[in-house]
Amino acid sequence: MDHEYEVEKVIDKKEENGVVYYLLKWKNFDESNNTWEPAQNLNCSELVQAFNLEKALEQWLIEEDLCILRQQPQNDTICKKSKTKNMLKFEHSHQTFVHNDEPQIPIFNDIDNQGIPLEFTYVDDYVYGEDVPRPEQYQGPIVGCDCEFSKCKAKQCSCLKKENRGRLYYNRTTGAVNLEPGNAIIECNDACSCDLSCPNRVTQRQRNVSLGLRRFAEKGWGVIALQHIPKDSFITYYLGEIITSQEADLRGNKYDEVGKTYLFDIDFYDDDSTATSFFTIDACKYGNISHFFNHSCDPNLVVFPVLNGICDIRLHHIAFFAKRDIEFGEELTFDYVGAVESKHKSDSISMEVDIQIQEENMSKYECKCRSENCRGYFLVV
């Protein structure tokens, strides 16, 4: 009878006569039993990915003359500029900062002695503030598809026929988004018969791109890519505490005084004609990696509103996608001004910004994005 041998770790890689081999450490066997196996025989793509990422990271650290800052957020120890291999074992780093199965977030700082602010709490879902309806309180109609397969098909799925003229929002194989900015993505929801592997549930499957945090001299923390990210890939949601617009006004004033910009209106469906209240995401205290996305006048991220499990359209998600190919080490940024085009308004509102509002009502921040077309500042209400 054949025994199933389990790979514990990928140790090394080589190429001979055009064939790629990986050196494997086998589970329950010591290192002397490690063997080289051709890539095509392997059935452990996640371990191979982790190995390749670690190698790429190692190379990048050498080129950038950086190291991973391994301290817990509460310690303010500065990064020592050594590049020992064990520093690269980022799977152990910052466990307090990483949730669910999303790739870990290594932290790099060779600028100053700042850690991650202690008051920041990492979340992997919205936090519902006062007077904000909870999803479980939703009483409206829930419409879902009754596709026979776990993966919906564009021409047959009632969700896709109704919402997107029988076309998928995403590439079936890669999950790349295929939609003009200014439109919302209506994904399958809790009432649909399909499962999480459905091609119309891309953003529900969590972030799977590897990202890191890097300290920048002029902008504070920012987010960098730790892999090549193909154009149109889903990156992550903008998460935080959902608050009423009244509360957002109050907090906005306070944040202004200390130069904080973390408010993001979720008002894609606000047509100004109803008295219905709309909501704002405040990512200041609670948030995910998107808390650290900086502004750029030439951004590499684009934002789409996404409706999925939550059926109240006023509580839709905000999802970031790659606007173009993003290279290893490149910073991920979005345009704080006009990130989401509203369904009803000619202009957009994001990070509490509405270009139509008089400039005197807005705070002006000096922009340090360094892009060729930098406007020199960005405005925040």
Can you say which residues are annotated as belonging to the binding site for Zn(2+)?
145, 147, 157, 159, 188, 192, 194, 198, 297, 367, 369, 374
Residue 38 binding: pick among ligand SAM, Zn ion, none (C-beta 5-8 Å cut-off by kind): none
Which CB, 217 or 275, lies closer to ligand SAM? 217
* 94 sits near ligand SAM (criterion: CB under 6 A): no
Report which DSSP code applies to 166: T
256 is written with which tokens? 């202004």
Q: What distance lies between CA 168 and its chain's CA centroid? A: 21
Cα dihedral 104→112→351→226 (10° resolution): -30
Based on the shown chain and the rule CB under 5 A, indicate whether residue 337 belongs to the binding site for Zn ion: no
DSSP string computed for 96-121: GG--TTSPP--EE-SS-S--S-TT-E
Partner touching 236 among Zn ion, ligand SAM, none, CB below 5 to 8 Å by kind: none
Pick the closer one to Zn ion by CB: 51 or 334: 334
Work out the number of other CB atoms within 10 angstroms of the CB of residue 311. Answer: 19
Give yes or no for residue 367 binding ligand SAM (CB under 6 A). Answer: yes
Q: How far, CA to CA in Å, does 373 sit from each of 276, 302, 349, 368? A: 38, 17, 21, 12
Select the span of 44-52, 212-220, 249-257, 370-378 touching Zn ion (CB under 5 A).
Answer: 370-378
Which string of x and - marks every residue 284-323 that binds ligand SAM (by CB under 6 A)? --------x-xxx---------------------------
**C-beta closer to ligand SAM: residue 144 or 222:** 222
Choices 7-15, 93-101, 188-196, 277-285 (CB under 5 A): range interacting with Zn ion: 188-196
- 20 Cβ partners below 8 Å, 6+ apart? 13, 14, 38, 39
> 171 to each of 3, 143, 164, 167, 294, how far by Cα in Å?
38, 23, 14, 10, 28
| Interacting span for Zn ion (CB under 5 A) from 93-101, 139-147, 229-237, 313-321 | 139-147
Residue 23-62 contact track with ligand SAM, rule CB under 6 A, x = bound: ----------------------------------------
Residues 70, 207, 214, 219: which binds ligand SAM (CB under 6 A)?
A: 219
Contact in structure between 172 and 199 (CB atoms under 8 Å): yes
Annotated binding site: 145, 147, 157, 159, 188, 192, 194, 198, 297, 367, 369, 374
Q: What contacts 24+ positions apart, CB below 8 Å, involve 104-108?
A: 105/211, 105/212, 105/213, 105/289, 106/57, 106/68, 106/212, 106/213, 106/226, 107/68, 107/69, 107/212, 107/213, 107/214, 108/66, 108/67, 108/68, 108/69, 108/79, 108/212, 108/213, 108/214, 108/215, 108/224
Binding mask 296-325 for Zn ion (x = CB under 5 A): -x----------------------------
**Which residue's CB is nearer to ligand SAM, number 53 or number 374?**
374
For residue 316, what are the CA distances in angstroms to 122, 239, 289, 309?
20, 11, 19, 9
- Which residues, numbered 151-180, are part of the site for ligand SAM (CB under 6 A)? none
Rg (CA), the chain: 23
> How many alpha carbons fall within 13 Å on the CB side of residue 312?
16
Nearer to ligand SAM, 201 or 215 (CB): 215
- Kindly state the smallest distance separating residue 86's Cβ from Zn ion, in Å: 38
Choose which of 315, 369, 379, 381 interacts with ligand SAM (CB under 6 A).
369
Binding residue (CB under 6 A) for ligand SAM from 126, 234, 238, 262: 262
Name the residue nearer to Zn ion (CB basis): 93 or 296. 296
Shortest spacing between CB 235 and ligand SAM, in angstroms: 15
Distance, in Å, from the CA atom of 224 to the CA atom of 332, rounded to the nearest integer, reads: 6
Cβ neighbourhood burial of 15 (10 Å; 0-12, 13-18, 19+): exposed
Binding partner of residue 220 among ligand SAM, Zn ion, none, CB cut-off 5 to 8 Å per kind: ligand SAM
Residues in touch with Zn ion (CB under 5 A):
145, 147, 152, 157, 188, 192, 194, 198, 200, 297, 367, 369, 374
Interface residue list for ligand SAM (CB under 6 A): 218-222, 259-262, 292, 294-296, 365, 367-369
